[in-house]
A and B are shown apart, each in its own frame.
Chain A
Amino acid sequence: MTCRTSVRDVRASAASAVLGVTRPVLTGAVSAALVLGGLTYQAPALAQASGPIKIGFNTELTGPWTFFGNSCVAGLKMANDEINKAGGVLGRPLEFVTVDNQTSPTQAVAASRNLDVNDKVVALTGPTSSDTALAMYGYAEQQKIPYLVPVAAFPQLTKPGTRYTFRIEPDAAGWGYVIARFLEERKPGAKVALMYSDAALMHAIVAGFKYQAPRSKLTIVSDVMFPQGSSDATVQAAQVRAANPDYVIVMGAGAFDNVMQNQLLDLGIKPEQLLHPYGITTQVFGWGQRSAGMIYGSFFDHGLDNLPAEGRDFIKRFDAANGRPPSYVENYCYNTPYIFKQALELAGVVDREKLRDAFSRMKGREVTTGLPVSFDKNGARKEYIYFMQLLSVDGKRTYASKQIYYHEWDADAIPVYDLVK
């Protein structure tokens, strides 16, 4: 029945396409369109004139990168409250419109579009994962929205030609490069194994490491990449163990990091042989006491040697509020509202183009460490990294660590933008 009816409909409309258009129909359609237009037309979005200054904060509240996203939110909230209590920026409160991107690039783009079009934010900030950050980067550059990246280290976020994106964290290919230099110093001619998840950040670190490894006379004895969503590494851990490496560089997405680490320890790899390119407080709690002795990279840690008084004070206040010491993610995200404050005050008005210009010429400071905050022509910042050794972990309360290495390098020490596309 349906079939026959539809054939008739089909003929009618197909025929109408071939025949001309009658006048009443045309006028009807056009007037309908005009009426609809009158209903929906709005003046093009102007810059926000009053009320809070809105900034879109797009981060990982669910999915594999949850623990990074939540750490970041904790730091950001603290600074935002302080700023608003002290009178806000340009006489207006600062508001971070927070959305969850589920650690999915697709969601991150969709959420950015919503923040841009519906909330009319003056700038974007957020992701702690490089995959989501890259997706947002594309959107921000295309739509000309200033975008401040607190914690995502993929080099291409500041590739030559970047105009609207500014990155606070040193680039990840550089971390890989420094790891090779560090291991060369620790044990010349060391044999190194790599175990990592298939994610943008890991690819960048591995690329930097593989570039420097032969120059530092290191041998890569095993190189295992896991797809996202892996749940077991028994066979691969055995493979790595069988290759008898001096060091294993471990970096997994989300809690898979722990799975790999525990299975390596189960098979008799010593904590001192394990190196994580990055480590934050919640991650350290996950590693636990059995990992004491391992090495991890950081940019801010309460175990650092020469922290200024402001830094010590931040650690104390953060610990009191959250029941755990902050690490580099909390530090960068705590600084983010202050960097916005400095840039907005430099720009003088709430305007996307003016804010972009302010970022590109600002000479600010991290309020916790006093490190300079200024961006080069591509939006990249100072490159540095600390390596820490984990001494002990006290449940989920605190941990002890000591600084064992520090390195600063020039962004062009390695051909960063050619290494990772």
Chain B
Amino acid sequence: MSARRWAVALGLLALALPFVLEGNRFLAFVYSIVMIHLIWANGMNLLYGYVGLMPLMFAGVAGVAAYAMIYLTRSHEWSFWLAAPMASLGASLFGVLLGLPSLRLTGFYFTLCSLVIQTVITLAFVFFPTFTNGDTGINQIAPPQAPWGGALSGVWMDETLAIVAVLSVLLCGWIVSTRLGKRFMAIREDDVLAEVLGIDVVRDRIIAFFIVSMFASIGGCLFAVTIGFISPRSFDVLTSLNIWLFVAFGGRGTLIGPIIGTIVLAPIPYLLQELQGFKDVLSGVLIIVVTLLMPGGVWGELLRWRDRRRARRALAVGQT
């Protein structure tokens, strides 16, 4: 099959699975978790894989959107379908604000800066309990309303998540195929050179932060209504680091990589529920392995291996 057919088949499979898993609540739950993380991983991939910045405050932006959404639905009785886009829009503008340091800093300093920003956001979630209910968290978050009345739950909720996740993959693919996507990659490779070539690096980075924050925010709103409970710890630096790991493990800067990373890694915490400490160790080891041994990620290394083999074969053909 060609790549295109594979993509369509995968997309259809993703949309069909909620109906398939309907009878098994545990698998259906794990599936919905994977879908949400897929949205996040796509956003993270845009920034980390294509623009070349490692934003550790990613989860913080998602949290801001989730809390804002809950505030709007609870205190102003907005519908989820109105509250979530508005909250996401607000959080994305906030995300752009948080991305401003990237105009001066890159590499390690930007990552460190984003780490501090994330820490400040988490602390703010804890210390301003008017909106967040502090460490206690917010429970019994109502599911979104269904278009036919009542609450959206069970299989239709999962289907909604699957649709949004598939859309996020398509959107990501579309963005990187446009001129904007090419400019992103030019900035990633060398921002000084890109500037010289006439790319407005400042404007493009701001656009990138807006788009990426949108991914984070929508994922955050969906996370809140799916799990039904959030606390500051749902959106701390470890969450950001985990999403980063999905992208880096699967392969940054490819479309397939983050999907692989998410499918393989996202269910682990839910399967290793009672071995919380072990889960931390495992993800730590993975981070080290990825950094040292496979900087391209699983998919990236596969592509590299294929290219090398092709090159060798071409060379062999040329010689004979």
Contacts and interface: CB of A to CB of B under 8 A. Distances in A.
A105 B228 contact: no
A102 B276 contact: yes
Interface stretch (A1-9, A173-181, A320-328, A391-399): A1-9
Contacts of B189: 3
Contacts of A36: 17, 20
Given A21-B8, A30-B16, A40-B21, A134 B254 contact: no
Contacts of B13: 29, 32-33
Contacts of A13: 3-4, 7, 169-170, 173, 255
B82 interface: no
B155 to A, nearest CB: 12
Given A2-B296, A30-B16, A105-B135, A100 B274 contact: yes
Interface stretch (A82-90, A110-118, A303-311): A110-118
Contact of B26 (A10, A14, A22, A117): A117
B97 interface: no
A358 interface: no
Given A19-B4, A138-B139, A141-B140, A99 B303 contact: no
Given A33-B17, A138-B229, A105 B137 contact: yes
A45 B1 CA distance: 39
A114 to B, nearest CB: 5
Interface in A249-277: none
Given A9-B256, A40-B20, A142-B140, A198 B135 contact: yes
A105 B17 CA distance: 30
Nearest to A107: B276
Given A40-B21, A105-B136, A29 B228 contact: no
Contacts, number: 177
Interface in B5-21: 5, 7-9, 11-13, 16-17, 19-21
A44 interface: yes
A11 B137 CA distance: 43
B175 to A, nearest CB: 9
Q: Please indicate which of the listed interface residues A19, A28, A33, A42 has the most CB atoms of chain B within 10 Å of its own CB.
A: A33
A28 B10 CA distance: 10
Contact of A3 (B24, B134, B253, B273): B253
Contacts of B12: 21, 25-26, 29-30, 33
A106 B269 CA distance: 12
A33 B254 contact: no
B147 interface: no
A395 B31 CA distance: 53
A51 interface: no
A106 B59 CA distance: 15
B23 interface: yes
Interface in A99-133: 99-100, 102, 104-107, 109-111, 113-114, 117-118, 130-131
Contacts of B108: none
Interface in A29-71: 29-30, 32-34, 36-37, 40-45
- Give the contact-size bracket for chain B: 35 or more
A200 B189 CA distance: 50
A13 B170 CA distance: 8
Contacts of B140: 137-138, 141-142
Interface of B is mostly: helix
Nearest to B174: A14
A199 B5 CA distance: 54
B124 to A, nearest CB: 12
A34 B17 CA distance: 9
Contacts of A413: none
B3 A12 contact: yes
Nearest to B256: A9
B222 interface: no
B176 A7 contact: yes
A200 B136 contact: yes
B16 A29 contact: yes
A111 B273 contact: yes
A22 B134 contact: no
Contacts of A41: 20, 23-24
Given A2-B296, A36-B17, A111-B273, A12 B7 contact: yes
Contact of A33 (B2, B16, B251): B16
Contacts of A138: 139-141, 228-229
Q: Please indicate which of the listed interface residues A1, A13, A107 has the most CB atoms of chain B within 10 Å of its own CB.
A: A13
A21 B4 CA distance: 10
Contacts of A30: 12, 16
A110 B267 CA distance: 13
Contacts of A5: 254, 303, 307
A186 to B, nearest CB: 32
20 contacts: A3-B185, A5-B307, A6-B176, A7-B177, A7-B182, A13-B170, A17-B11, A29-B13, A32-B13, A33-B16, A42-B24, A43-B23, A44-B23, A105-B229, A106-B233, A114-B273, A114-B274, A134-B137, A138-B229, A141-B140
The 10 A-B residue pairs whose C-beta atoms are closest, nearest first, are A138-B139, A16-B4, A37-B20, A33-B16, A29-B12, A13-B7, A12-B3, A138-B140, A14-B173, A6-B254
Interface of B: 1-5, 7-9, 11-13, 16-17, 19-21, 23-27, 29, 126-127, 134-137, 139-141, 169-170, 173-174, 176-177, 181-182, 185, 189, 227-229, 231, 233-234, 251, 253-256, 269-270, 273-274, 276, 296, 300, 303-304, 307
Given A6-B176, A227-B127, 13 more contacts: A2-B254, A6-B254, A9-B3, A9-B256, A10-B176, A11-B177, A12-B4, A13-B255, A25-B1, A99-B273, A104-B233, A106-B233, A111-B274
